[in-house]
Amino acid sequence: MTASDRIGAGPVGVGVVGFGWMGEVHARSYQRVRHHYPDLPLVPTLVAVADPAPGRAPAAAARYGFLSSSPDWRELIADDRIGAISVTAPNFLHREIGEAVVAAGKHLWIEKPVGVGASDARAVRDAAAAAGVRSTVGFNYRAAPAVAHARELIAAGDIGTVTNARIRFFSDYAAHPDGGLSWRFTRSHGGDGVLGDLASHAVDLGRYLLGPLSALVADTSVIIPARPTVSGAGSHFSRADGPPGAVENEDYVSALLRFASGARAVLEASRVAVGEQNTYGFEVHGTTGALSWDFRRMGELRVSTGADYQDQSYRTVYATAGHGDLAAFQPGAGIPMGYDDLKVIEAAGFLTSIATGKPHGPTLDDAVAAATALDAMSESVRTGGWVSL
């Protein structure tokens, strides 16, 4: 079966590679997507799940209704029942699995950052283009209806010419010194630390709202230099008590960004920010107004527009049916959405792209652009200077 055979209406068998938290989110998204998008031309069926951790794949199959399970992702690649695969495995596996998925003519939904550097992301992108398959990438925060509305206001000039922005992704998931030394804290398996994890989202949000980057300068630090080692398939949320091991990648990054439009931005990301639980968001300032969004108040956009300049206040605008995909989830303003809903939007875009043969939502080109910026941040830290993009 070729990629072209899998474009159009009807059922599509899906597989999930890697079944930690994000694998579960993908499985739930496939199960829910037709509830929210009843006119979606493709009906996803959970065919197979793969994960090498002992017992994890069979447990996932029993819980979510996959028809089969395996410890080896290669069995999903060879399975003719499967037309699309989600890759939620650790970063160091993204390139190998992603290239194998598309080479087999299967469509690809892959989590960011698509490898351990821009070269990996480019390789997967180029392989998908050569195979003629559709793909999407897990930059889910741009799917929030309030963020979509912010983009519309910026594009319409409602805040004038954008002058500067602040993008912040602060989390405390690794703030405890007993947080286990999972794959995320090693160069060989995770690549960058908070760069690939949280700053990749921040870069994508900046590009989504303000357009392409032109240059940046960055600084990073390792705040907790050693962590207890873990045995088995511990996640980066887990505590551990094994012998200490070195943290090989950064906990914190700050960067100054220049956009091709002339706008400037400050970007900060931390995985060890005590007191901050998923404090993700942005502030965008223009010559006549400003916008502000906090992920934890996902359905709200703070907007300052008008002609007063000085003493011009913000007002809160609640996402409503005309903003992004809110109408697929809630009938009116002020009814909250959740994190998993953003992944359902991603699933709908992915399946729509398969059905239509056209991209819907973030693509591998966006992954390459984000990874290129992250590589530039690492280069800036190494050289101590600005890096052009």
CATH number (domain holding residue 112): 3.40.50.720
In terms of Cα–Cα distance, which of 22, 29, 366, 324 is closest to 200?
A: 366
Residue 137 tokens read as 């990438």
Residues 223, 253 within the same domain: yes
Residue 4 tokens read as 């072209």
Q: Does a structural domain hold residue 195?
A: yes
Return the residue matching tokens 């998923």: 278
pLDDT at residue 182, as a whole number: 86
Residues 34, 7 within the same domain: yes
Q: How many domains does the chain have?
A: 2
Residues 119, 75 within the same domain: yes
Q: Does a structural domain hold residue 388?
A: no
In the chain, the amino acid numbered 225 is P
Which residues are registered as beta bridge partners of 49? 16, 69
Residue 270 tokens read as 């931390």
Q: Does a structural domain hold residue 362?
A: no
Rounded to an integer, what distance in angstroms lies between the CA atom of residue 78 and that of residue 27? 20
Residues 304, 177 within the same domain: yes
Rounded to an integer, what distance in angstroms lies between the CA atom of residue 110 and that of residue 124? 10
Residues 240, 324 within the same domain: yes
Residues 105, 46 within the same domain: yes
Return the residue matching tokens 């399975």: 79
State how far the alpha carbon of 325 is from the alpha carbons of 143, 144, 181, 331, in Å.
Answer: 8, 8, 38, 11
| HEC string for the chain | CCHHHHCCCEEEEEEEECCCHHHHHHHHHHHHHHHHCCCCCEEEEEEEEECCCCCHHHHHHHHHCCCEEECCCHHHHCCCCCCEEEECCCHHHHHHHHHHHHHCCCEEEECCCCCCCHHHHHHHHHHHHHHCCCEEECCHHHHCHHHHHHHHHHHCCCCCCEEEEEEEEECCCCCCCCECECHHHCHHHHCCCHHHHHHHHHHHHHHHHHCCEEEEEEEEECCCCEEEECCCCCCCCCECCCCEEECCCCCEEEEEEEECCCCEEEEEEECCCCCCCCEEEEEEEECCCEEEEEHHHCCEEEEECCCCCCCCCCEEEECCCCCCCHHHCCCCCCCCCCHHHHHHHHHHHHHHHHHHCCCCCCCHHHHHHHHHHHHHHHHHHHHCCCEEC
Domain residues for the domain of 36 are 3-140
Residues 158, 285 within the same domain: yes
In terms of Cα–Cα distance, which of 199, 194, 182 is closest to 222?
A: 194
CATH number (domain holding residue 221): 3.30.360.10
Q: Does a structural domain hold residue 39?
A: yes
Single out the residue in 81, 106, 140 at which a domain terminates. 140
Rounded to an integer, what distance in angstroms lies between the CA atom of residue 128 and that of residue 135? 7
Residues 58, 86 within the same domain: yes
pLDDT at residue 234, as a whole number: 57
Q: Does a structural domain hold residue 378?
A: no
Residues 178, 240 within the same domain: yes
Single out the residue in 87, 115, 140 at which a domain terminates. 140
Phi, psi at residue 384, to the nearest 5°?
75, 20
pLDDT at residue 56, as a whole number: 96
Residues 188, 134 within the same domain: no
Instruction: Describe the strand order of the beta sheet including 252-259 as a list of residue ranges.
Output: 315-318, 300-304, 290-294, 279-286, 162-170, 264-270, 252-259, 213-221, 387-388
Residues 154, 290 within the same domain: yes
Rounded to an integer, what distance in angstroms lies between the CA atom of residue 5 and that of residue 37? 23
In the chain, the amino acid numbered 10 is G
Which residues are registered as beta bridge partners of 227? 245
Nearest 5 degrees, angle CA 11-CA 15-CA 19?
140
Rounded to an integer, what distance in angstroms lies between the CA atom of residue 77 and that of residue 101? 6
pLDDT at residue 240, as a whole number: 77
Q: Does a structural domain hold residue 23?
A: yes
End-to-end CA distance of the chain: 40
Single out the residue in 140, 163, 194 at which a domain terminates. 140
Q: Does a structural domain hold residue 366?
A: no
Q: Does a structural domain hold residue 14?
A: yes
Residues 79, 44 within the same domain: yes
pLDDT values of the chain reduced to their tens digit, one per residue, 389 residues: 344 444 456 899 999 999 999 999 999 999 999 999 999 999 999 999 999 999 999 999 999 999 999 999 999 999 999 999 999 999 999 999 999 999 999 999 999 999 999 999 999 999 999 999 999 999 999 999 999 999 999 999 999 999 999 999 999 999 999 989 888 898 888 888 999 999 999 999 999 999 999 999 999 999 999 999 887 655 666 777 788 999 999 999 999 999 999 999 999 999 999 999 999 999 999 999 999 999 999 999 999 999 999 999 999 999 999 999 999 999 999 999 999 999 999 999 999 999 999 999 999 999 999 999 999 999 999 999 999 99
The verdict on whether omega for the bond into residue 113 sits within 30 degrees of 0, i.e. cis, is yes
